Amino acid sequence: MKKETIIELMAKASLPGVGPVTIRKVLAALASVQDMMNPGPIDHFLKDQPQDIPQNKVDTMLGVDGYRLASLGPWGKRLALAINKDKDGRVLQNNLAFFRREWEISQGEGIRWVDLYAEDYPSQLQPCINAPLLLYVKGKLPNQYDYSMAVVGTRNMSSYGAFVLRQYLEELSIGWQDSLHKPIVVSGLARGVDTHAHDLALECGMATLAVMANGLASVYPAQNRGLASRIMRDGALISESPAYQSPDARLFASRNRIIAGICTGTLVVEAAARGGALITARYAQEYGRHVLAFPGRVTDQNYRGCLQMIMEGQALMTCSPYDLATLMKWPIRECRLEGIRFEGRTAMHQRSPFYPGDLNSSKLSQNLGLGAAQVFSSMELHEPVSADLLWEAFPGDYPGFVCALFELETKGWITRNVSGALVRLR
C-alpha cells in the first residue's frame, strides 16, 4: 500500500474501540457487498470500484462515510461509532500525526513497514483474523513459511531443557533433506528458551525470526543485542509496536499471537503450569496449527505445562524432529544421535546442507584440552555440581582449572544454572 494509505488505515485502526479485527471484518464486509448480485444500500457507491485489488478495497473503506459504514453490519457500525464519537476529528488527527512521525522515525532507524497486503507479509500470518495490519521489520523476511516452527518456553530454562532442545535441533539439521529451503525457527528473543532457540538455529545453519514485544529501535533484553545482529544477517526482527515502544507486560501476550500465526507448528520446550508459552500454544490451536511439546520430567515444575497439554490432548508429545516428517510432511529423514553424541560435530553434520561444522576431530580427547577433559569426565550428565567440588577433585593447579572451565563453557559442553552450579550438557 502507499505510504499515506497505510498511515490513514493505521490512524483509523487506532481509534478507541477499533483494532485489526474490526478493520479486517469491515474489509471482508466490503468485499461481500461488492460480490452481491442484488443491489444493496452501498452497491451504488461501490459499483465502479475494482474488486480484485486489496489497495483499492482499503482506499474504498477509508472513503466511506459513517452512514454507509453502518450499513455493513455490526463491525461497520463499530467503526462508524468510533468515528462519530470523535466529532471534531481531534483523535484521528493526532493518530495521523503520530504515524506520519513514526514513518520518519522508522526511516531513520532502518525499519521497514510491511503492511497486510505487502508481498513479503508472512503468508501463514495473513489469514489470521487478528493479525497485525502493519509489521515493523528489520532484516530480511523469508519467501516461504512451509517449514517454520515456533520454539517457545520458560525464561528459567533448565540444563535438561537446553540439552534436549540442542539435540532436537541438531538432529533436525542432520536429517534435513531440502537443500533449497531452510527450516525457520521463530521465537521471541527473551531470556531462556527463546535465546537458546535463536542461538541453536544460527549454530545449525537455519533461518530464524525474532518477534519482539517492544519497538525495534532497541533490543530487549539488552544482553541479546549481539544475538539480534546475528539474526538479521539471514533473518529478521519483527514487531507490531512503534520504534521507541518500551517493553510492556501487556505486549508480550499480544506478541505471542504473531509467533504462533507465522508458523505451521509450535514446539513448547519447557513450560510451567502458567506462562506465555501456553498462550502461544493456545493461539496456535485457534489458528489450526500443530502444537508439540517435550514430555520432560514429572518432578520438574518447569514441565507441568507441557505435561498438562499432552495429557489433555492439547499438544502432541515429541522426542525427535522426525515427528515433523510424519505429522507435517517436512523433508526429514530419521537420524538419531544416540551413540555419537560425543563425537566431533564435523563428522555428524557434514550430511546436513545447512550445518556449518567447524571441528576437525571426531574424538572428545582431541576436541578438549587435557584439563577440560578431566573436569568433564568427572561430571554426571544434567547433575548440577559446584565449582568448589570440581576443584577439589581436579589434579592440576587452580589456573589450569579455571582455563578448563572456561574451555568447557565456551565450547558448550557445560553451562551454569540459575544458582551458579555447573551442569554437564553432553
CATH number of the domain bearing residue 397: 1.10.10.10
In a shared domain, residues 60 and 146:
no
Domain that holds residue 387: 368-424
348 inside domain: no
How far is the C-alpha of 254 from the C-alpha of 409, rounded, in Å? 35
- Beta carbons within 8 Å of 373's beta carbon, 6+ residues apart: 364, 365
Let me know if residue 118 belongs to a domain: no
The three-class DSSP label of residue 57 is helix
Whole-number pLDDT of residue 337: 46
- The whole-number pLDDT of residue 304 equals 92
**Is residue 372 domain-shared with residue 324, that is, in the same domain?**
no
Query: How many other C-beta atoms can be found within 10 angstroms of the C-beta atom of residue 396?
Result: 14
User: What is the CATH classification number for the domain harbouring 290?
Assistant: 3.40.50.450
Q: Which residue has the cell 565456551?
A: 410
8 Å CB contact between 263 and 211: no
Q: How many domains does the chain have?
A: 3
Between the alpha carbon of residue 358 and those of residues 38, 313, 412, the distances in Å are 68, 41, 14
Residue 258 CA: distances (Å) to CA of 103, 213, 238:
22, 10, 9
273 and 187 belong to one structural domain: yes
Tens place of pLDDT per residue across the chain (426 aa): 889 999 999 999 999 999 999 999 998 888 777 555 344 444 444 444 433 445 677 888 888 877 788 888 899 999 999 989 988 889 999 999 999 999 999 999 999 999 999 999 999 999 999 999 999 999 999 999 999 999 999 998 888 888 899 999 999 999 999 989 999 999 999 999 999 999 999 999 999 999 999 999 999 999 999 999 999 999 999 999 999 999 888 899 899 999 999 999 999 999 988 888 999 999 999 999 999 999 987 888 889 999 999 999 999 999 999 999 989 999 998 765 443 343 333 334 444 455 444 433 334 555 788 888 888 888 888 788 888 889 888 888 888 888 889 888 888 888 887 678 888 887
Per-residue pLDDT, 230:
96
Q: What is the pTM of this model?
A: 0.78
Domain for residue 12, yes or no? yes
SS3 percent helix, strand, coil of the chain, rounded to 5, is: 45, 10, 40
| 291 and 419 inside one domain | no
Same domain, 251 and 160: yes
Does residue 351 sit within a domain? no
CB atoms within 10 A of CB 300: 15
How far apart are the C-alpha atoms of 302 and 273, rounded to whole Å?
A: 8
Same domain, 146 and 292: yes
Among 328, 358, 382, give the residue marking a domain's end: 328
| 360 in a structural domain | no
132 lies in a domain?
A: no
The values of phi and psi at residue 132, to 5°, are -60, 145
